[in-house]
């Protein structure tokens, strides 16, 4: 999942979103300098009409933000600006800070990934949405160490209409792609470690048991990437809900296997704060639950299948974009 846009973003994040920067932000840093650099680069406007890009065009950029576990909500801001423009609501300028997305789905509180570094929150409940400044939001930490996800309570503020479920579908889509990117980095770290770590006179990657585990991980990572591509198969910027469901279900379902194998192969070093693996696995578990877990989206896919006419295989081919 690469194009000329993602290559430019990859180069920028490679220089400015280093593990040291991620550590600093997770430890309480604001991330303002990183956000200012990203906003000035123009990436946050990628889904505005004047940019002329579709969801499929920006998918590789979302993938790159996952590979670098970007600690500021660039992907959410891309979609938030497009949603606000569509709804006729004034879009906060970039210097005013990034925007995180949240969907209550009838609940009293919801979790907001990257909420710790967001200035604004675009929230939805039913067919109503609101744009809330951080100072007016009922925020609380999740209790997880170094977690950038925040818990957000319902807000009483001026609302505007928005198609029901839009932010949930958007969140599922973008997190599916980001999880695919993060799992790609986890696989690279695990493969490199297996090839470098020596035990009993040879690299542990030479042992059949380790090779089997890494093969299973490779299958899961590849499946999550293909599902993420399905989630982003759209002509415009809005994801199709059922395709987003396919992407989010498969990516969330792969998290447990991928993270478990990664930590098993790495052994004790994989859980240390000094080693970078924990950046990815912690974020993957947070994203797995964001905007609906695999169980949530499996239920939605199952209900859609039961309500549809015709053969299930034809329905799956339609969702995957394959011509009948």
My answer on whether 126 and 78 are in the same domain is yes
Residue 273, domain member (yes or no): yes
My answer on whether 173 and 306 are in the same domain is yes
My answer on whether 173 and 308 are in the same domain is yes
Instruction: Please state, in angstroms and rounded to a whole number, the distance separating the CA atoms of residues 22 and 18.
Output: 6
Residue 324, domain member (yes or no): no
Residue 51, domain member (yes or no): yes
Residue 95, domain member (yes or no): yes
Instruction: Please state, in angstroms and rounded to a whole number, the distance separating the CA atoms of residues 144 and 47.
Output: 32
Q: Are 185 and 194 in contact (CB under 8 A)?
A: no
Residue 33, domain member (yes or no): yes
My answer on whether 143 and 173 are in the same domain is no
My answer on whether 20 and 115 are in the same domain is yes
Q: Choose the final residue of a domain: 104, 131, 164.
A: 164
Q: Are 167 and 83 in contact (CB under 8 A)?
A: yes
Q: Choose the final residue of a domain: 121, 140, 164.
A: 164
Tokens 């950029």 belong to residue:
61
Residue 130, domain member (yes or no): yes
My answer on whether 151 and 171 are in the same domain is no
Domain count along the chain? 2
My answer on whether 106 and 198 are in the same domain is no
Tokens 């993938």 belong to residue:
63
My answer on whether 139 and 63 are in the same domain is yes
My answer on whether 274 and 307 are in the same domain is yes
Q: Choose the final residue of a domain: 164, 192, 218.
A: 164
CATH number assigned to the domain comprising residue 275: 1.20.140.10
The three-point CA angle 157-158-162 to 5° equals 115
Reading the block at residue 147, the tokens are 């977690």
My answer on whether 154 and 178 are in the same domain is no
pLDDT tens track, the chain, 324 positions? 789 999 999 999 999 999 999 999 999 888 899 999 999 999 999 999 999 999 999 999 999 999 999 999 999 999 999 999 999 999 998 788 999 999 998 888 999 999 999 999 999 999 999 999 999 999 999 888 888 999 999 776 778 999 999 999 999 999 999 999 999 999 999 999 999 988 888 888 889 999 999 999 999 999 999 999 999 998 899 999 999 999 999 999 999 999 999 999 999 998 898 999 999 999 999 999 999 999 999 999 999 888 888 777 888 777 776 655
pLDDT of residue 323: 55
My answer on whether 119 and 69 are in the same domain is yes
pLDDT of residue 220: 97
State the helix-helix crossing angle for 55-67 and 166-196, rounded to 10 degrees.
Answer: 40
Which residue range(s) make up the domain with 235? 167-319
Cα–Cα nearest to 68, from 178, 192, 148:
178
My answer on whether 226 and 281 are in the same domain is yes
Is the CA virtual torsion 14, 1, 63, 216 positive or negative?
negative
pLDDT of residue 53: 95
pTM, whole model, 2 decimals? 0.93
């Amino acid at each position: 999942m690469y194009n000329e846009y993602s290559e430019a973003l990859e180069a920028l994040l490679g220089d400015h979103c280093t593990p040291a920067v991620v550590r600093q932000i997770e430890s309480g840093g604001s991330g303002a300098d990183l956000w200012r650099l990203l906003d000035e680069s123009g990436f946050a406007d990628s889904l505005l009409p004047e940019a002329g890009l579709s969801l499929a065009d920006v998918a590789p950029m979302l993938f790159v933000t996952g590979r670098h576990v970007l600690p500021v909500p660039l992907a959410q801001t891309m979609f938030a600006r497009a949603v606000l423009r569509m709804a006729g609501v004034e879009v906060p300028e970039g210097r005013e800070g990034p925007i995180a997305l949240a969907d209550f789905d009838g609940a009293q509180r919801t979790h907001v990934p990257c909420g710790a570094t967001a200035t604004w929150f675009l929230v939805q409940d039913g067919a109503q949405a609101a744009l809330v400044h951080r100072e007016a939001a009922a925020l609380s930490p999740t209790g997880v160490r170094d977690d950038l996800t925040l818990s957000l309570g319902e807000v009483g503020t001026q609302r505007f209409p928005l198609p029901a479920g839009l932010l949930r579908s958007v969140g599922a889509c973008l997190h599916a792609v980001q999880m695919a990117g993060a799992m790609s980095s986890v696989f690279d770290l695990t493969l490199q470690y297996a090839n470098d770590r020596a035990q009993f006179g040879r690299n542990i990657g030479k042992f059949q048991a380790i090779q089997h585990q890494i093969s299973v991980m490779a299958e899961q990572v590849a499946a999550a990437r293909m599902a993420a591509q399905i989630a982003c198969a759209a002509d415009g910027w809005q994801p199709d809900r059922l395709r987003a469901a396919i992407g989010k279900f498969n990516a969330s379902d792969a998290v447990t296997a991928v993270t478990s194998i990664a930590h098993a192969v790495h052994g004790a070093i994989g859980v240390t704060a000094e080693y970078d693996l924990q950046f990815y696995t912690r974020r993957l578990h947070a994203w797995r639950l964001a905007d609906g877990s695999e169980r949530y989206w499996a239920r939605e896919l199952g209900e859609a299948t039961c309500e549809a006419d015709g053969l299930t295989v034809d329905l799956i081919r339609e969702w995957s974009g394959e011509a009948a």
